[in-house]
Structures are given as structure tokens and as C-alpha cells.
Structure 1
Amino acid sequence: MDVHAATSSAGCTVSVSGEVDSATAPGLRGCLLEVLARPGTTTVEVDLRGVTFLDSAGLSALATAHRSALASGRDLRMRCGTTRAVARPLRITGLWDVFTIID
């Protein structure tokens, strides 16, 4: 898995690519929580279009970031594209309707 965070005047974008599984999900969780804790950050977009595999550990990392964003009054948005590897697990678990999906 590869994770990159880029900050702009509109907020922060965290781009994720590769497999998000039990071995890599802790790194994603840590990155998202760190970005959400930055002073002045109000909007964080997670770009998951490059993700090729997403398991329950990855879903848990995204859910943890979602709860953190809600608790701190920040806006967490997810860009999934048409990637079945991401959209399918989000839909099956019902998280598609919980998260703010922007595409």
C-alpha cells in the first residue's frame, strides 16, 4: 500500500493505492488520524481510486477516521470512483451510506 497526503487551500487529500489489509491498514489509520488532527484542517478527502483490495481491517481504519472526523467537527470525504475493490465492500457493509462519498 502507498499513502500520500497533500495539503492545499481547500483542505487535505490523502491518496491511497494498493492493497489495504490487516498488514497495511494500521498505516492508513495512523495517516488519516494524523491528518485529521492537524490544526486548521477542516476537510479531508480520501482518494481510494487506486486501491486494489480492501478488507475488514481497511474498512475499520476508514470507520475509525470517520468517527474521529465527526468527533472533531471535520469533514471526511471519500472518492471511490468505479473501483469494485472499494465500492463493493463499502456497499455490502452499509458503510457506503454512512460515509460521505463524493463520486
Structure 2
Amino acid sequence: MTATSLSPTDDLVSITVAGTSSTAALTVAGEVDSSSAPVLRTAVDQALARGVRELVVDLDAVTFLDSAGLCVLAAAHRSASLQGVRLRVLASGSAVIRPLQITGLWELLAVELVQPGAGAA
């Protein structure tokens, strides 16, 4: 797997992209809000444009997730479904789990609960 880092538009979030020809893994760290969500959306769109069969969005290191981030995840689900891509969302902390549960995205995305610090490793 090769890994690259995306340059965020601000200091709130960092995204590392790793993958093969069939899989992309986005490791997200920091805060995903209205100012940083576009960075995540771009990473998701670029990964899906590569024609992968599986997209992993690792939110293990996310410390804040608001409605803008939730919208990106819902759009990722929609796009992945339309393209026949398996979307896996990983989460460990209450800052991510709670908003996903409240909105019903936890079930829709079939989020995988991971041990803190485990992520996609």
C-alpha cells in the first residue's frame, strides 16, 4: 500500500490516503466541521474516481464531527452504493459515535466499532 497526505485547507484535520488498485483507505485525524469537511469530501471523491472496489474511512483519530462531516459521510455512502463500492467506516470515540448514532448514520453506514488507537491497522 502506498500512502500520501492531503494538505488540509486549515489546521483542523489531516487525511492520509493509502491504497492499492482496488482499495483506498482514508485515515482522518482532528476535527471535521464546516471548514474542514470539504477536505474529506475531496479525498472521498478522488478515491472513488480511481475506481476502487473498497473505500475505508478511518475516523479513529477524529476528535469532533459535526453536521458537515456527517453530510460528507452520507454522500460517500450514496456515491459508493451507486458505483458498487464497499464503504467501510471505522470509529472508536464518542465524538464520532454519538453523532452517527443520533442521526441514524451508524446503522446506514454499518459503522465498525474499533478499539481506540486501532484504526485500520
How does the TM-score come out when normalised to structure 1? 0.93
Which stretches of structure 1, 4 residues or more, deviate above 6 A after TM superposition? none
Give 1:12 shift: 1.5
What per-residue deviation string (whole Å, max 9, x for no partner) do you get for residues 11-59 of structure 1?
Answer: 21100000000000011011101101103x1001110000000000000
**Count of equivalent residues:** 101
1:29 pairs with 2:29? no
Unpaired runs of at least 5, structure 2:
1-12, 114-121
CA distance in 1, matches of 2:103, 2:39: 22
In structure 1, stretches of 5+ residues that fail to align are none
Whole-angstrom distance in 2 between the partners of 1:101 and 1:37: 22
Higher relative contact order (CA 8 A, sep 6+): 1
Q: Rg larger in 1 or in 2?
A: 2
What is the percentage of aligned positions where both structures have the same residue? 47
The structure richer in helix per residue is 1
